[in-house]
Amino acid sequence: MNVRSAGALVAAACLAAWCASTWVAPAIAAGTGGDADPLFEQPPAGVPNFTGKWLNAKPGGHLLTTSGSEPPLNAAGRAEYARRQAALKSGDHKVDPVSSCLMHGVPRLLYTSMPFLILQTTRDVNFVHEANHTFRNIYWNKAPGDEPDPSYLGYSVAHFEGKTLVIDSTDFNDLTWLDYSGLPHGEKLTVQERYTLENPNTIQGSLTITDPDFYTAPWTTRLTFKRQPGMALKENVCMDTHQM
Amino acid sequence: MRRPAWLICCLASICIAAFAQEGPPQGGGDAAARAAARDKRNAADALAWNRNPAPQDPRDFSGVWWTRGYDRTFRPVTDSPMPPGESARLLPLTPLEAASRQHHLDMEKAGTPIADAPTQCFPHGIPRLLASPYPIEFVYSPGLITILHEVAHNVRFIHMDGKPVPADTPRTFLGYSVGHWEGNTLVVVTDHLNDRTQIDEESLSHGLQLKVTERMTKFTNRYGGVEIRDLITIEDPEHFTKPWTAERLYPWRGDIRIAEYSCEENNRNAPVNGISVAK
Q: Is B241 on the interface with A (CB under 8 A)?
A: no
Q: Determine the pLDDT at residue A230.
A: 85
- Residue B169 per-residue DSSP state: P
Q: In what order do the strands lie in the sheet with B155-159?
A: B63-65, B136-141, B144-149, B155-159, B176-182, B185-191, B211-220, B226-235, B244-251
- pLDDT band, very low/low/confident/very high, at B267 (cuts 50, 70, 90): low
- pLDDT band, very low/low/confident/very high, at A155 (cuts 50, 70, 90): very high
Cβ contacts (< 8 Å) between B1 and chain A: which residues?
Answer: 24-28, 147, 149
Q: Which of residues 139-198 of A touch B (CB under 8 A)?
A: 139, 143, 147, 149, 151-153
Amino acid at B117: A
Lowest mean pLDDT among A28-37, A70-79, B67-76, B209-218: A28-37
Average pLDDT of every residue of chain A: 86
pLDDT at B65 over 50: yes
Q: Determine the pLDDT at residue A32.
A: 41
- pLDDT band, very low/low/confident/very high, at A20 (cuts 50, 70, 90): very low
pLDDT at B24 over 50: no
Higher pLDDT, B182 or B19: B182
Q: Is B94 on the interface with A (CB under 8 A)?
A: no
Q: Is B174 on the interface with A (CB under 8 A)?
A: yes
Cβ contacts (< 8 Å) between A101 and chain B: which residues?
Answer: 121, 264, 267, 272
Record: contact A2-B154, CB cut-off 8 A: no
pLDDT tens, A37-62?
567 899 999 999 999 999 999 999 99
Distance, in Å, from the CA atom of A222 to the CA atom of A67, rounded to the nearest integer, reads 10
> Which of A120, A134, A156, A239 is the mutation pick for testing B, counting most B CBs within 10 A?
A239
**Nearest in space to B250 (alpha carbons), one of B270, B271, B274, B225:** B225
pLDDT tens, A196-215?
999 999 999 999 999 999 99
Average pLDDT of every residue of chain B: 87
Q: Which of residues 18-37 of B touch A (CB under 8 A)?
A: none
Q: Which of residues 109-128 of A touch B (CB under 8 A)?
A: 117, 119, 121, 123-124, 126, 128
Q: Determine the pLDDT at residue A45.
A: 93
Q: Is B90 on the interface with A (CB under 8 A)?
A: no
**Nearest in space to A209 (alpha carbons), one of A177, A171, A178:** A178
pLDDT tens, B102-111?
999 999 999 9
Amino acid at B155: V
Distance, in Å, from the CA atom of B227 to the CA atom of B206, rounded to the nearest integer, reads 28
Record: contact B264-A103, CB cut-off 8 A: yes
Assess contact for B131 and B201: CB atoms under 8 A. Answer: yes
Q: Which helix (H) or strand (E) holds A54?
A: strand A52-56
Cβ contacts (< 8 Å) between A93 and chain B: which residues?
Answer: 273
Considering CB atoms only, which of A17, A22, A135 is closest to B13?
A17
Record: contact A4-B115, CB cut-off 8 A: yes
Record: contact A39-B254, CB cut-off 8 A: yes
- pLDDT band, very low/low/confident/very high, at A226 (cuts 50, 70, 90): very high
Record: contact B277-A100, CB cut-off 8 A: yes
Give the closest-approach CA distance of A236 to chain B in angstroms.
9
Cβ contacts (< 8 Å) between B148 and chain A: which residues?
Answer: 126, 128, 135, 137
Q: Determine the pLDDT at residue B85.
A: 72
Q: Determine the pLDDT at residue A202.
A: 98
- pLDDT band, very low/low/confident/very high, at B11 (cuts 50, 70, 90): very low
- Alpha-carbon separation of residue A233 from A54, A113, B64 (angstroms): 10, 12, 23
> Which of A14, A23, A236 is the mutation pick for testing B, counting most B CBs within 10 A?
A23
Give the closest-approach CA distance of A8 to chain B in angstroms.
6
Record: contact B254-A237, CB cut-off 8 A: no
pLDDT tens, A87-108?
999 999 999 999 999 999 999 9
> Which of B45, B72, B108, B139 is the mutation pick for testing A, counting most A CBs within 10 A?
B139
Q: Determine the pLDDT at residue A19.
A: 37
Name the pairing type of β-strands B155-159 and B176-182. parallel
Contacts of B100 (CB under 8 A, 6+ apart): A1, A3, B205, B239
Record: contact B3-A23, CB cut-off 8 A: yes
Distance, in Å, from the CA atom of B146 to the CA atom of B174, rounded to the nearest integer, reads 13
**Nearest in space to B121 (alpha carbons), one of A5, A186, A71, A22:** A22
Q: Is A57 on the interface with B (CB under 8 A)?
A: no
Distance, in Å, from the CA atom of A137 to the CA atom of A155, rounded to the nearest integer, reads 9
Q: Determine the pLDDT at residue A242.
A: 63
Distance, in Å, from the CA atom of B175 to the CA atom of B144, rounded to the nearest integer, reads 15
- Please give the average per-residue pLDDT across B41-45, as a whole number: 95
Record: contact A239-B272, CB cut-off 8 A: yes
Give the closest-approach CA distance of A159 to chain B in angstroms.
17
pLDDT at B22 over 90: no
Record: contact B140-A133, CB cut-off 8 A: no
Q: Which of residues 120-149 of B touch A (CB under 8 A)?
A: 120-123, 137, 139-142, 146, 148
Give the closest-approach CA distance of B79 to chain A in angstroms.
31
